[in-house]
Amino acid sequence: MAPPSKTRAKKQPIGGRLRYAARLTITFALIAIMTSLIAASMLIILWNQQFLSYSHERVEEIARSAAETTGQRYEIFGDWIPDTVAALPSISVIAKGTSIKVVSSVGMVVYNNSPVQQTEMPLATPQTPETVTVPVLAYGEQVGTISVTPLESTYLSETDIRFRLNAYQGIIIAAVVAVILATIVGLLFARGLVSPIDQITETVNDIKEGKLAARTEVRGSDEIAVLARTLNEMADSIEEVRKFERQLTTDVAHELRTPLMAMQATIEAIIDGVLPADQTRLATIDSEVVRLGRLVDALLRLSRLENRNVEFKEEEINLGELIAGLVLSHEKLIEDSELSIEFKADAKVIVFGDADLLRQATANLISNAVRYTSAGGKINVEVRRGQIMAQIIVADTGMGISEEDIKNVFSRFWRADAGRNRESGGLGVGLAVVKEIADRHNGWVNVESILGRGTVFTIYVPLFNETMRRQRARAAKAK
């Protein structure tokens, strides 16, 4: 049975998905509601303005028609008599919802069908904003005025009113449909967004539980897909690290087991009286103890370099002088191996870093060249000054490395073939140490080799120039 914490971890993404999807859906719905309300309000305002303008034009049209008809009848009857305004009631019936008032040129109210009757109204009386007043002309002169006033705030026919109501209903229906569609789209979008997140969460939980082969199946080019690919790459790295750790454990156990078994067999034989405890047997045990000590020291040194636990002493280094001294210290070893060595260096190759670490990296390369170069061979050590990088080159005429094996040269305990065996004295971690030291100096190591003809290792380290010197001086002053 899985631990409770793991069970809870698996349930969390489901609950989180529902809550997150609901929040997204509600957000889409609220946005749609707000947009619909704003759009509906604006449309209603515009519709009202349009209908008010339309109503005013209708009232003006009625007023002009009534004034024209009344003026014609005035010319027929010659005065303001009931027959002159006899046509106005029929016009008022046709223009339902309006009142008509006729005032003579002397200010006498001749006709008024408004609910509140007035006997007379001076010409100077202010008119309401909705009222439209036009002159009545007869014989080319003004004989009075006609005022048409809507009895409601707007003047609309029944057809106009129905059209306006239908338009408002259409706006409301459109708003409701927009909200429903936005909610559906929001739900689909939330599900589409949360689904890859769920996959990523499940993959993380699987990796946490030790299923290192778990990978997400998210595809695409958006940010979530990039996150999924990054997670897969991280899982690949973790799996590689775990494989490397298992391989390292196996290699270390194998490397330690060989000398330990040799010592154990020799000691047991001495105890049992099978072998004498003479100087030869004790020397064998001592050599294996020394080898174990060297192996443990090398592994400890490499571990400290990888974990950045080694103190890094930064100073200006004349690389040519540093490597020249190192080559001199190895001349005896090279002569004993029946090899020759040649050293060359460009002038004033200055770098900034740890002299002890650079010396150790170069010493490892020289020792490696001596170990795998047959008697009569040659080793070339050179210090070059490039445009940006300084180069430490160690070349030999040894057995070389195949193209398939070059990618493994910086791995712990790597040996390409039987020629690179423990009898040669190699521990299998020297080149890994070289790579870590180059990395600490913001550089790298390159290897070129031809099988049976030799190998060239090149350490690249950034040159130290005046610009870097001034920057470090300013940084020191700031401290």
> Quick one: DSSP state of residue 464?
P
> Residue 415 has what pLDDT?
55
Helix (H) or strand (E) holding 357: helix 355-371
**Residue 389: pLDDT over 60:** yes
**Residue 305: pLDDT over 80:** no
Mean pLDDT, the chain, whole residue set = 77
Quick check: 322 and 356 in contact, CB under 8 A? no
Long-range CB contacts (< 8 A, 24+ apart) of 180-184?
181/32, 182/28, 182/29, 182/31, 182/32, 183/25, 183/28, 183/29, 183/32
Quick check: 328 and 321 in contact, CB under 8 A? no
Mean per-residue pLDDT for 380-396?
A: 93
3-class state of residue 383 by DSSP: strand
For each of the domains in the chain, give its residue range(s) and CATH number, in order of start: 1-214 (no CATH), 223-304 (1.10.287.130), 313-472 (3.30.565.10)
- The residue with greater pLDDT, 61 or 248, is 61
Q: In 10 A of CB 397, how many CB atoms?
A: 19
**Residue 134: pLDDT over 50:** yes
> Residue 475 has what pLDDT?
67
**Residue 191: pLDDT over 70:** yes
Give the tens place of pLDDT for each residue, 96-133: 667 888 998 888 888 888 765 443 433 333 333 478 89
The angle formed by the CA atoms of residues 305, 308 and 310, to the nearest 5 degrees, is 65
Burial label for 324, CB within 10 Å (0-12, 13-18, 19+), is middle
> Residue 447 has what pLDDT?
92
**φ, ψ (nearest 5 deg) of residue 122:** -60, 150
> Residue 473 has what pLDDT?
67
The residue written with tokens 């490597």 in the block is 323
The residue written with tokens 């100096």 in the block is 441
pLDDT band at 322 (very low <50, low <70, confident <90, very high): very high
> Residue 362 has what pLDDT?
92
Quick check: 63 and 149 in contact, CB under 8 A? no
**Residue 155: pLDDT over 90:** no
CA distance 461 to 464: 9
Mean per-residue pLDDT for 290-310?
A: 67
> Residue 380 has what pLDDT?
94
Quick check: 193 and 224 in contact, CB under 8 A? yes
> Residue 346 has what pLDDT?
92
pTM of the model as a whole? 0.46
> Residue 19 has what pLDDT?
67
CA distance 397 to 455: 7
pLDDT band at 47 (very low <50, low <70, confident <90, very high): confident
> Residue 236 has what pLDDT?
82
> 12: Cβ–Cβ under 8 A, 6 or more apart, which residues?
201
Instruction: Name the maximum alpha-carbon separation found in the chain.
Output: 162
Most confident of 39-48, 353-362, 409-418: 353-362
Helix (H) or strand (E) holding 445: strand 444-450
**Which alpha helices (H) appear in 78-157, and where do they start and end?**
88-94
3-class state of residue 209 by DSSP: coil
Burial label for 70, CB within 10 Å (0-12, 13-18, 19+), is buried
Give the tens place of pLDDT for each residue, 247-292: 666 666 766 776 777 778 878 888 887 778 788 778 877 777 876 7
> Residue 282 has what pLDDT?
80
**Residue 4: pLDDT over 50:** no
Q: In 10 A of CB 84, how many CB atoms?
A: 26
